[in-house]
Chain A
Amino acid sequence: MTGQEKKGRWVTAAMLTPSAIWFLLLLVLPLIVVAVFSFGERAPHGGYSPAFTFEQYANLPSRLKAFQNTLIIAPLGTFLCLLVAYPLAYFLAVKVHEKWRLLLLVLVIVPFWTSLLIRTYAWIFILGGKGLPALFEMIGIDDLRLINTPGAVVIGIVYGYLPLMVFPVFVSLEKLDKKLLEASNDLGGSPFRTFLQITLPLSIPGMATGCMLVFILLMGEFLIPAFLGGGKVFFVGNALVDLFLQSRNWAFGSAVATSLVIIMLVVVTVYMRLMMRASAHRDDVSIL
């Protein structure tokens, strides 16, 4: 090994140290603590007392509904986010004149200047009896219940997470080589066919990133279901808040948290595999 190489390694190590310490202290260590706690017991006055028992994991079925709600509404919310975000991102990346693009992109971010908490609270009034249902009543649709339903939670999710989906899709669409579209046109492809065979496949990486971002955050969501679900649409995140802040059952809370982490790891791994296979498949097609 030459001196040059040795020096290079030192520099690399020095530059990686801060992030390594960061991950160790704030990710790995807490995860170990949570895993250890999940085999313990609730102390008499709440909190954690050391033990080695599988009791907490045996109690997991009592939170089955929370896992079900999360595993249904999180993917559904992600999918709807994508449906709403794609046309917007397409418009911003392809259709809009360049001089407006920056302004419109900033407008997508503007909602982030207000806390999600406050924006979600505002939806309570929009979806409440004196909000949208009152408007619907004017056109003859009576007794519409929006607030405190799974539908309200989904609306809140799509609203809150939309920018996170718009940006990755926008980036992949913006990088799209316009020459490919022209080529497709020259070869007689209809605009619809061009979109299906060129634009859509080439924006898969952006969609995949956006879905991943939204889905992972949604799995841990608790604020939107708490506000717009009125405590009736319950996510695993809400169960965790209850277990740590109300019941002070750290052991069971840790077991629920560990299970959630494991479920996420499995889902995300499967998802990545599928995505990699899809993109490998696409390469084959392009070679042919």
Chain B
Amino acid sequence: MSKDYKDNLPITRTKFMEEFRRYQKGSVSRRHFLGVTGLGTAMAVLGGAVPGLSSRPAQAFGDLGDRMVFSTWPNYHNPVNMEEFTEATGVNIQVNAFGSNEEMLAKLQAGGAGWDVFVPTNYTISTYVELGLIQELDLSRLPNYDPGAQNPVFAGPATVNGKVYAVPKNWGTTGIVVNTNEVSPAPTSWKEFFDITMGAGSGHTIVHDYQLTTIGAALCAHGFSFNSVDPGELAKAEKLLIDSKPHLFAITSDYQPGMRSGDAWMSICWTGDGKQLNTDLPEMQYVVASDGGELWSDFYAIPTDAPHVDAAYAFINYMQDPFIQVRDFSVHGYPTSDARVDAMLPESIINDPILYPAKELMDGLEFGAAATLTDPGRAEVIARFKAA
């Protein structure tokens, strides 16, 4: 039974006013949040640019139930947004954090995951559609989503065979974070990354526990495509990885603790983590490699067997509100593909070279490919590398 929330407009107008007041109270904790996150200073500038609440579309919520399950990535949301959604709708959000798209796919494939909303990455969506694991979205239920405001480069993968299965969350790049106190000059390519790892920086490098980025980096170092599934090229990448293994500090996607403790000097790194590390420790530099790497975008999507579809739509719609997106950004530091959000961000952020790398570096990056996700060869290479 799906219910249009406009049915309940008279009741929810009062609810909306309640929400409005909570919002005003909530703004205190927002400042608090900006203070404790690394982006505080930048966001202080931003504060003036954030439009008043009046510009938020009036949201009315019908009976959405009291809970939903949301599967996403670590360090990727502003808790204030989540709490506010729960206060406004009565829907409690159970959050699961994942380490890789493969793991998400494994859970959905096994069935009975019970998720209502999850955050897949661009290259996985066509596979989810093919396997019948996600639903086509009814965009009329997402009035906050503005297709015209989206950068098609990042929003594009959500459309499969002319149907929209997801709406964009954030995008970013996969590059290298370097502690320049220890490694100077910083590497500019994946080739240099592995050379330093097996040379002067031995014992201080982290690679991800994630086939896409780790195999991708080794492939780029050889001059191959980040997405290659060619057995010959994969064999060379595997050899490079296994040769470098004794020189690695760790194989983990949770690389911030190692970088912060000084044990690790270099790591494969995503935009937001690079930004967070650089803000706290200026010697940490984020490098987009000249020999390639990944460009990615994440999405909100609803699994086919989602038990709370109404809550799922309400949540995604809420998260598409530009103001809410800015608040999310203030915590995680990943850009969005939404021009309405960019318009709210100050010049200093739009010109940040970590968040928005130079065009010539961006041109060398590739989106992950669908074949990369499901290729058994790549799955086995990373498993053998870890078990070696």
| Residue in A63, A65, A124, A246 whose CB lies within 8 Å of B103 | A246
The CA-CA distance from A232 to B206 in the complex, in Å, is: 11
CB–CB B263/A129 < 8 A: yes
Complex contacts, B257 vs chain A, CB 8 Å:
124-125, 128
CB–CB B251/A248 < 8 A: no
Check A45/B102 contact, CB under 8 A, given A234-B386, A234-B387, A249-B376. Answer: no
Complex contacts, B383 vs chain A, CB 8 Å:
239, 242-243, 246-247, 249
CB–CB A245/B131 < 8 A: no
Question: Which residues of A222-276 have CB atoms within 8 Å of chain B's CB atoms?
Answer: 230-232, 234, 238-239, 242-249
CB–CB B252/A62 < 8 A: no
CB–CB B262/A130 < 8 A: yes
CB–CB A65/B380 < 8 A: no
What is the interface residue range for chain A against chain B? Answer: 20 to 34
Indicate if A148 sits at the interface (CB-CB under 8 A): yes
Complex contacts, A130 vs chain B, CB 8 Å:
261-262
Complex contacts, B388 vs chain A, CB 8 Å:
65
Indicate if A46 sits at the interface (CB-CB under 8 A): yes
Indicate if A193 sits at the interface (CB-CB under 8 A): no
CB–CB B387/A46 < 8 A: no
Check A148/B249 contact, CB under 8 A, given A44-B374, A231-B209, A246-B100. Answer: yes
| Residue in A131, A148, A238, A239 whose CB lies within 8 Å of B250 | A148
Q: Which residue of A lies closest to B382 (CB)?
A: A246
Check A62/B384 contact, CB under 8 A, given A230-B250, A246-B379. Answer: yes
Q: How far is the CB of B127 from chain A (nearest CB, A)?
A: 7
| Residue in B245, B379, B386 whose CB lies within 8 Å of A249 | B379
The CA-CA distance from A234 to B248 in the complex, in Å, is: 14
Q: Which residue of B lies closest to A128 (CB)?
A: B261
CB–CB B262/A231 < 8 A: no
Q: Which residue of A lies closest to B385 (CB)?
A: A231
Complex contacts, A242 vs chain B, CB 8 Å:
382-383, 386-387
Q: Which residue of A lies closest to B253 (CB)?
A: A231
Check A46/B251 contact, CB under 8 A, given A231-B386, A248-B106. Answer: no
Complex contacts, A231 vs chain B, CB 8 Å:
209, 250-252, 386
The CA-CA distance from A130 to B264 in the complex, in Å, is: 12
* Number of B residues, CB within 8 Å of A: 33
The CA-CA distance from A246 to B375 in the complex, in Å, is: 11
Indicate if B258 sits at the interface (CB-CB under 8 A): yes
Indicate if A145 sits at the interface (CB-CB under 8 A): yes
Indicate if A147 sits at the interface (CB-CB under 8 A): yes
For the residues of B in contact with A, the DSSP-based class is: helix
| Residue in B109, B203, B211, B245 whose CB lies within 8 Å of A46 | B109
Indicate if B105 sits at the interface (CB-CB under 8 A): yes
CB–CB A248/B379 < 8 A: yes
Complex contacts, A245 vs chain B, CB 8 Å:
100, 102-103, 106
Check A230/B251 contact, CB under 8 A, given A45-B374, A239-B383. Answer: yes
Complex contacts, B252 vs chain A, CB 8 Å:
230-231
CB–CB A232/B248 < 8 A: yes
Most chain B CB atoms below 10 A, which of A62, A65, A245: A245
CB–CB A46/B106 < 8 A: yes
The CA-CA distance from A243 to B127 in the complex, in Å, is: 19
Complex contacts, B382 vs chain A, CB 8 Å:
242, 246-247
The CA-CA distance from A242 to B109 in the complex, in Å, is: 15
CB–CB A239/B102 < 8 A: no
Q: Which residue of A lies closest to B248 (CB)?
A: A232
CB–CB B387/A66 < 8 A: yes
Complex contacts, A220 vs chain B, CB 8 Å:
none
Complex contacts, A230 vs chain B, CB 8 Å:
249-252, 258
Q: How far is the CB of B27 from chain A (nearest CB, A)?
A: 32
Q: Which residue of B lies closest to A65 (CB)?
A: B387
The CA-CA distance from A129 to B182 in the complex, in Å, is: 14
Question: Which residues of B263-283 have CB atoms within 8 Å of chain A's CB atoms?
Answer: 263
Complex contacts, B131 vs chain A, CB 8 Å:
45
Complex contacts, B251 vs chain A, CB 8 Å:
230-232
Q: Which residue of A lies closest to B203 (CB)?
A: A145
| Residue in A147, A148, A244 whose CB lies within 8 Å of B106 | A244
Q: Mark A129-171, 1 if CB is under 8 A from B, else 0.
A: 1110000000000000101100000000000000000000000
Can you report 19 residue pairs joining A to B where beta carbons are below 8 Å apart?
Answer: A46-B105, A46-B374, A125-B257, A128-B258, A128-B261, A145-B203, A230-B249, A230-B250, A230-B251, A230-B258, A232-B245, A232-B248, A234-B387, A239-B383, A246-B102, A246-B103, A247-B380, A248-B106, A249-B380
Known: A128-B258, A244-B106, A245-B100. 5 other contacts (CB 8 A): A45-B109, A130-B261, A148-B250, A231-B250, A242-B382
Q: Kindly list the 8 A-B residue pairs having the minimum CB-CB distance in the complex, ordered from nearest.
A: A230-B250, A231-B251, A247-B379, A129-B263, A128-B261, A129-B261, A129-B262, A246-B102
Binding site for A on B (CB under 8 A): 100, 102-103, 105-106, 109, 127, 130-131, 203, 209, 211, 245, 248-252, 257-258, 261-263, 374, 376, 379-380, 382-384, 386-388
Binding site for B on A (CB under 8 A): 42, 44-47, 62-63, 65-66, 124-125, 128-131, 145, 147-148, 230-232, 234, 238-239, 242-249
